Amino acid sequence: MDKFKKDFLEKVGSREIMKISNILDKIKNQEKIVEVVYYALLVMSKSKEKMSPLLALQIAEEDWDM
């Protein structure tokens, strides 16, 4: 198993994963999942510093007024 998969599986059930899941559920219910996820990916790609997926989603969620 590669490092990415191992790291992810170790986080399953963690607060970080639960928060990500809650954000994705919320934006899915508001039918904005593509827009918010795309924006989060842009935020991550443009960041000069390493950014977690959770932080990127939180920024995107706020910027999209979710």
**Distances in Å between the alpha carbon of 44 and those of 29, 30, 47?**
23, 22, 5
How is residue 13 written in tokens?
């059930």
Which of 46, 44, 10 is closest to 58 using CA atoms?
44
pLDDT tens-digit profile, the chain (66 residues): 688 888 777 777 788 888 999 999 999 999 999 999 999 999 999 999 999 999 999 999 999 987
pTM of the model as a whole: 0.78
